Amino acid sequence: MPSTKIAGIGFYVPEKVVTNFDLMRHMDTTDEWIQERSGIVERRYVERHEETTASIGAKAARIAIERAGITKEEVDFIVFATLSPDYFFPGCGVLMQRELGITHTEIGALDIRNQCSGFVYGLTVADQFVRSGMYKNVLLVGAEVHSMGLDFTTRGRNVSVLFGDGAGAVVLQPTDEPGQGILTSKLHSDGTHAEQLALICPGAHGGYHAKKMGMDVDFGFDENLEFGELFVTQKMLDDAMTYPVMDGQLVFKTAVTKFPEVIREVLDDQGLSVADIDLFIPHQANLRISQFVQRKLGLPDGKVWNNIQRYGNTTAATIPIALCEAWEAGKVKKGDLVCIAAFGSGFTWAASLIRW
């Protein structure tokens, strides 16, 4: 059975740079406060009405396709990971397919909704398609446009200062070269604290989860309606309930535990140790989390790639953007062992080992 290699890789970030000082004009915060808590100095935002999650995903995809040495018509399956889709439905996979101009091929498109872990989950799904021989050129994209859905007031600063827009893509192909490609992946989830990092409204929940968990939350639903309940109520709008929420302390505490666990799990699966890792690329959620995990694993600075300082948290796009940057900088060479890992909303967490 063949294994799966990354044959081409690309990324795109919007031209518009938004610094911490820019955000200070909209909320009560400081550059020092943001950097101390997250390590972020600046991030990129799309141009409104000109770029979307699907369109920037297509820009990254075109680069990956060219570097893979194939044409867009040779792509035979699409996997698209995002938490910020253009539409509630359909998903971004088909929209990006249209952007690329390959709708006539009638290929399949799968949307992955695993937030920060989306790229690793998507990589694992695509790996199975390639290994089985079902597809030969799988296009995997992680893309996000957070800037259109954040609360840019002091009320929302704990979340809004963290996120940026961007996209990364890879083309996955089979290889018969021994020991090359994706060696192993491990995926995990625990929905116990799902609401502690979430965008709850709008949604088709009707208050179900809050009631079941004993949460005293009034979403403003009209209890007298027999059917036709609204996704969005006036109370949701008035109380700013349509923005993401996060329990930062819980996320940090859980992330620094789950990150090392899943990394050691993939290493143990292959009979390898931390010392065998040539480059570790963590999901760029928070520089403090990445540094904590790095210290816990005992990895030197030269073996860890962080770029959250320049791009913020681009969720499903962080790993492919960072991986592409590292490759372009010559930090990823043939034969290197690359470890990627992510933790995020759900909670979900995952890791993969790749022999370049």
Domain ranges of the chain: 3-175
- Tell me the backbone φ, ψ of residue 309, rounded to 5 degrees: -55, -35
pLDDT at 227: 79
Is residue 248 over pLDDT 80?
Answer: yes
pLDDT at 70: 98
Per-residue pLDDT band at 255 (split at 50, 70, 90): very high
Q: Which structure tokens are listed for 274?
A: 């931390």
pLDDT at 8: 98
Question: Which residues are CB-neighbours of 56 under 8 A, at least 6 positions away?
Answer: 12, 14, 46, 143, 145, 165, 166, 167
Amino acid at 271: G
Our answer to whether residue 104 is catalytic in this structure is no
Upstream peptide bond of 2 is cis (omega within 30 degrees of 0) = no
pLDDT at 100: 98
pLDDT at 231: 85
Could you give the CA distance from residue 7 to residue 20 in angstroms, rounded to a whole number? 36
CATH 3.40.47.10 matches 3-175? yes
Is residue 83 over pLDDT 80?
Answer: yes
| pLDDT tens digits along 102-155 | 998 889 999 999 999 999 999 999 999 999 999 999 999 999 999 999 999 999
pLDDT at 111: 98
Mean pLDDT of the chain: 96
pLDDT at 269: 98
Our answer to whether residue 313 is catalytic in this structure is yes
Set 116, 201, 324, 339: catalytic member: 116
| pLDDT tens digits along 205-235 | 989 999 999 988 999 988 888 777 778 999 9
pLDDT at 89: 96
| pLDDT tens digits along 286-314 | 999 999 999 999 999 999 999 999 999 99
Cβ count near 36 (within 10 Å): 10
| pLDDT tens digits along 11-30 | 999 999 999 999 999 999 99
Question: Pseudo-torsion of CA 297, 301, 302, 304, nearest 10°?
Answer: 60
Q: What is the pTM of this model?
A: 0.97
pLDDT at 42: 98
Q: What is the largest CA-CA distance in the chain?
A: 64
Q: Which structure tokens are listed for 3?
A: 């294994």
Set 20, 114, 286, 313: catalytic member: 313
Q: Which structure tokens are listed for 296?
A: 């816990």
